[in-house]
Amino acid sequence: MDELTREFLIESQEGLDRMERCLTDLEERPQDTELLGEIFRSVHTIKGTTGFLGFKRLERLAHAGENLLGLLRDGKLSANQAIITGLLHLMDALRGILKTIETDNKEGEGEDAELIGRLHELQHPEAAVATMNAKAAAASSANAHTPAPPIVHQARSSVPAIPDPETAPAPVDVRGAVIDSKPPADAASESGKPKTITTAASDSTLRVDVILLNRMMNLVGELVLTRNQILQATSLDPNLTLLSRRLDMVTADLRESVMKARMQPVSNVFSKFPRIIRDLSQALHRKVRLVMEGQETELDKSLLEAIKDPLTHAVRNSLDHGIEPPDVRIAAGKDPEGTLKLRAYQESSHVIIEVSDDGAGIRVERVRAKAIERGLIAAERAAQLADRELLQLIFLPGFSTAEAVTNVSGRGVGMDVVRTNVEKIGGKVEIDSRAGKGTTLRLRIPLTLAIIPALIVRSLNQSFALPQGALSELVHIPPERASAAFEYMEGTPLYRLRGQLLPLIFLDRLLSPGAGSTSLASEARAERDNFIAVLDADGRRFGLVVDGLADPEEIVVKPLSSVLKSIGLYSGATVLGSGDLALILDPGSIASRAGVALRSNDEGHAEVSQEEEESDVMASRYLLVEASERRAAVPLGDVLRIERLPLSRIEYIGYRPVLNFDGQLLPVEDSGGVLAAAGGNPNAQVTVVVCREGTRHVGIAVSHVLDVAAGDELFEAGSQHRASGVTLLNDQVTGIVDLGAVPPLPLNPQITSPQLTDWTTETVA
């Protein structure tokens, strides 16, 4: 155990000893503020220090205690026997955990929800009695829900037939079809402000233990699975069809009801913002008007909890970096009072929460500079990114746009934490920003985690579930188009989707990399239908190629065992309607495993991954380049990478230009005179096409990359200088660059200093 942890344990135990003494005294002098202050501080210190070490259980317990003690210390609540008992239990629980840490160096397992719940209840003595009695009962909101079976059924069973190429399947909308019978105001008072719950109110509403609700949810999940199986099993038997259809309806409705019982209005989270914004805007000397919309929108309780922190962070960010001080705003011709808007609404199976401001917006140039400075991205790569992509960089760990991390942005936790938290619950974060106009951050949260719509796909004769949340469209490639549809650049398979290059991942190759030679695989591929599922994950867009598509299904997500989890491609498992087991694919991990590059809106070449160097080559495809107004073709199969870099990256050995490429020196062919034309300006950008030639790599300096085009080699010709042949590309005769003719480096590539060159020459002479 390290010194700091030991220090923490000793200090915490001392604090608890003090707390114990004080608690005994408190029984006799319940109003003694000195005693209360001392007890508060013991717990407060534990809460404050435990965060450094990441002991979450301790932190949560201490936090619950601190809230209660705060009320006592401030005289808002007076200590009674029940409270003192509760605090003694807290003390015991804290001691227990400290002891476990001392022996095991970790907190150990344990259920603290009940104690935390009790400490909360003790804060509201008038409500405590009513809630105790009502604890295990069901929520009336679930009972009051009026079913709308026909609509629900229709929505559920509308199975979009696939694959007209290049059309997006309509996601199956389950939620949207259900009629909300509960007025929003009712919902707000029911769960938003426990304080107001009185005996009278408890006639129509009950508080339900979340644990019980979770159990109900699990049971409903099981029921959904069974229903799916019965539906498939009975689909051919007309006698049973009616019965099973009825079961289907009831199940769907029950599921909705239980889900609804777990719902809370977002106002529960929104309600704390007016105060935060008032205080922060004062501290920062901003004038801010807060607009909140859609507070009655409901979200699963656990999800609501999970977005609380990301949302708070986003709001702080808006105040801190977004909305300008009044004088700056006036100078920019804006209303001195900024507007911060919080908006929640439901969009099919998601709840969208937007935080938008009319502030300064994000200056992409600053994002670029910062990302380069922090080493998150290479300067050459950053220069290629479109504005939209640059904005995505702020979600990378270690990024913070704040030139100065000011008071409000706090501890420097950045947008990466927002993204991580939201993605943890299956959500997405999007950002839009226009310099001078404002920024909108959009959190896209699934309605629930337990049951998700998924598309069942087939590969290697197995079924896999693909969450619909990540799916944006499906493309069907019939056998006769297969060989033309899949293109390769640097060994990375690509597909042209409406003029955009889409990196592809073949699911079968990913799952069993050793299966047959790739050429065999591509032959087999050319003989059958292929489907591309276009996925968006982690801000990247790519296509997952699968062998077949089955129906969309609502699947119940079951956690994976740790063995399977460590593979990293799957987010869970499920039982399909057919009774088969299927693994749920995790698009984010698939993308990062296969190293898909960030989505790009500009030139196609930026899309290409730098990871793989497979040998799938379309021999008759060429990269069409231009060097000093002369066109030339480079066989696409030999192209490894297209680098845009400053002239200063080009070094010289004698008169020969060389490029240090991933630690390897390669000769750069400049027969087009591109480097010379750059005129020695070290900041001038040049493009070098890095190619494979036999066992070595060579670079070709070019002015532009024009296109990728197909063409047949017309004849082998040595007539044209530095060309191995001629081809007809886009109706123009074009010389093919002869990579073999690029002379090797004159020296051992390590030797780059001019003195050594001279010395060698002398020796040779």
Partner 1 sequence: MRALIVDDSRFVRDFLRGLLEEKGIECEEASDGKAGLSHLHEGDPFDLALVDWNMPVMDGLDMLKNMRAEGYADVKVMMVTTEAEDDFIIRSLDAGADEYLMKPFDNEALTEKLAMLGFVEA
Q: List b or e across 702-730, with b for residues whose CB sees 16 or more CB atoms inside 10 angstroms.
A: bbebbebbebebeeeeeeeebbbbbbebe
Geometric angle at alpha carbon 32, from 28 and 38, rounded to 5°: 110
Place of tokens 């909308």: 173
Largest CA distance in the chain: 107
Of 573-612, binders to partner 1 (CB under 8 A) are none
Q: Is 578 helix (H, G, I), strand (E, B) or coil?
A: coil
Kindly state the smallest distance separating residue 407's Cβ from partner 1, in Å.
6
Of 248-307, binders to partner 1 (CB under 8 A) are 276, 279-280, 282-283
Of the pair 315, 625, the CB lying nearest partner 1 is at: 315
| Cβ–Cβ under 8 Å, residues 634 and 689 | yes
For residue 542, what are its two tokens? 């790519």
Q: Does 104 bind partner 1 (CB under 8 A)?
A: no
Q: Does 47 bind partner 1 (CB under 8 A)?
A: yes
Cβ neighbour number for residue 743 with a 10 Å cutoff? 9
Q: Which of 353, 325, 340 is nearest to 447 (CA)?
A: 353
Kindly state the smallest distance separating residue 480's Cβ from partner 1, in Å.
57
Q: Does 40 bind partner 1 (CB under 8 A)?
A: yes
For residue 597, what are its two tokens? 């590059």
Q: What type of residue is 711?
A: G
Distance of alpha carbon 427 from alpha carbon 459, whole angstroms: 26
Kindly state the smallest distance separating residue 575's Cβ from partner 1, in Å.
42
Of the pair 235, 407, the CB lying nearest partner 1 is at: 407
Of the pair 7, 126, the CB lying nearest partner 1 is at: 7
Of the pair 44, 260, the CB lying nearest partner 1 is at: 44
Of the pair 38, 554, the CB lying nearest partner 1 is at: 38
As a dihedral over the C-alpha atoms of residue 617, residue 620, residue 623, residue 627, rounded to 10 degrees, the angle is 130
Kindly state the smallest distance separating residue 374's Cβ from partner 1, in Å.
11
Antiparallel, parallel or unpaired: β 438-446 and 428-434: antiparallel
Of the pair 408, 470, the CB lying nearest partner 1 is at: 408
Please choose, out of 35-43, 161-169, 198-206, 692-700, the segment that lies near partner 1 by the rule CB under 8 A.
35-43
Q: How many chain residues bind partner 1 (CB under 8 A)?
A: 30
Distance of alpha carbon 291 from alpha carbon 632, whole angstroms: 59
Of the pair 418, 504, the CB lying nearest partner 1 is at: 418
Kindly state the smallest distance separating residue 640's Cβ from partner 1, in Å.
37
| Cβ–Cβ under 8 Å, residues 93 and 118 | no
Kindly state the smallest distance separating residue 3's Cβ from partner 1, in Å.
8
Q: Does 41 bind partner 1 (CB under 8 A)?
A: yes
Q: What type of residue is 535?
A: L
Of the pair 105, 748, the CB lying nearest partner 1 is at: 105
Q: Does 345 bind partner 1 (CB under 8 A)?
A: no
Distance of alpha carbon 340 from alpha carbon 408, whole angstroms: 16
Kindly state the smallest distance separating residue 419's Cβ from partner 1, in Å.
18
For residue 470, what are its two tokens? 């990540």
DSSP state of 197: -
Of the pair 8, 464, the CB lying nearest partner 1 is at: 8
CA distance to 467, 491, 742, per residue, from 667 (Å): 47, 22, 8
Of 384-413, binders to partner 1 (CB under 8 A) are 404-407, 410-412
Cβ neighbour number for residue 157 with a 10 Å cutoff? 14
Q: Does 51 bind partner 1 (CB under 8 A)?
A: yes
Of the pair 18, 89, the CB lying nearest partner 1 is at: 18
Kindly state the smallest distance separating residue 9's Cβ from partner 1, in Å.
9
Please choose, out of 7-15, 23-31, 530-538, 604-612, the segment that lies near partner 1 by the rule CB under 8 A.
7-15
Of the pair 102, 611, the CB lying nearest partner 1 is at: 102
| Cβ–Cβ under 8 Å, residues 633 and 734 | yes
Q: Does 25 bind partner 1 (CB under 8 A)?
A: no
Distance of alpha carbon 433 from alpha carbon 390, whole angstroms: 11
| Cβ–Cβ under 8 Å, residues 515 and 461 | no
Kindly state the smallest distance separating residue 404's Cβ from partner 1, in Å.
6
| Cβ–Cβ under 8 Å, residues 691 and 639 | yes
Of the pair 126, 279, the CB lying nearest partner 1 is at: 279
Kindly give, in sequence order, each residue whose CB lies less than 8 Å from that of residue 27, ignoring residues fewer than 6 positions away: 81, 84
Kindly state the smallest distance separating residue 588's Cβ from partner 1, in Å.
26
Kindly state the smallest distance separating residue 411's Cβ from partner 1, in Å.
4
Q: Does 171 bind partner 1 (CB under 8 A)?
A: no
| Cβ–Cβ under 8 Å, residues 169 and 552 | yes
Distance of alpha carbon 679 from alpha carbon 647, whole angstroms: 9
Distance of alpha carbon 269 from alpha carbon 309, whole angstroms: 10
Residue choice 24, 52, 366, 685 for contact with partner 1 (CB under 8 A): 52
Of the pair 312, 724, the CB lying nearest partner 1 is at: 312
Of the pair 315, 533, the CB lying nearest partner 1 is at: 315
Kindly state the smallest distance separating residue 125's Cβ from partner 1, in Å.
22
Of the pair 141, 281, the CB lying nearest partner 1 is at: 281
Q: What type of residue is 488?
A: Y
Of the pair 3, 629, the CB lying nearest partner 1 is at: 3
For residue 467, what are its two tokens? 């969450």
Q: Does 11 bind partner 1 (CB under 8 A)?
A: yes
For residue 249, what are its two tokens? 């309806």
Of the pair 48, 595, the CB lying nearest partner 1 is at: 48
Rg (CA), the chain: 32
Kindly state the smallest distance separating residue 759's Cβ from partner 1, in Å.
42
Give me the helices (H) in 412-516, please: 415-424, 479-485, 507-511
Q: Does 4 bind partner 1 (CB under 8 A)?
A: yes
Q: Does 506 bind partner 1 (CB under 8 A)?
A: no
Kindly state the smallest distance separating residue 439's Cβ from partner 1, in Å.
22
Burial of 385 (0-12, 13-18, 19+ CB in 10 A): buried
Kindly state the smallest distance separating residue 8's Cβ from partner 1, in Å.
5
Of the pair 40, 506, the CB lying nearest partner 1 is at: 40
Residue choice 16, 35, 38, 381 for contact with partner 1 (CB under 8 A): 38
Kindly state the smallest distance separating residue 322's Cβ from partner 1, in Å.
18
Q: What type of residue is 350?
A: H
Q: Which of 249, 251, 271, 104 is nearest to 188 (CA)?
A: 271
Q: Which of 389, 387, 394, 388 is nearest to 371 (CA)?
A: 394
Residue choice 8, 273, 622, 661 for contact with partner 1 (CB under 8 A): 8
Please choose, out of 32-40, 361-369, 383-391, 626-634, the segment that lies near partner 1 by the rule CB under 8 A.
32-40
Kindly state the smallest distance separating residue 70's Cβ from partner 1, in Å.
9
Q: Does 66 bind partner 1 (CB under 8 A)?
A: yes
Residue choice 20, 30, 37, 95 for contact with partner 1 (CB under 8 A): 37
Q: Does 78 bind partner 1 (CB under 8 A)?
A: no
| Cβ–Cβ under 8 Å, residues 452 and 446 | yes
Q: Does 369 bind partner 1 (CB under 8 A)?
A: no
Kindly give, in sequence order, each residue whose CB lies less than 8 Å from that of residue 392, ignoring residues fewer than 6 positions away: 431, 539, 598
Distance of alpha carbon 162 from alpha carbon 468, whole angstroms: 14
Please choose, out of 3-11, 133-141, 242-250, 431-439, the segment that lies near partner 1 by the rule CB under 8 A.
3-11
Q: Does 143 bind partner 1 (CB under 8 A)?
A: no
Distance of alpha carbon 703 from alpha carbon 625, whole angstroms: 8
For residue 133, what are its two tokens? 């009695």
Binding-site ranges for partner 1 (CB under 8 A)? 3-4, 7-8, 11, 37-38, 40-41, 44-45, 47-49, 51-52, 63, 66, 276, 279-280, 282-283, 404-407, 410-412
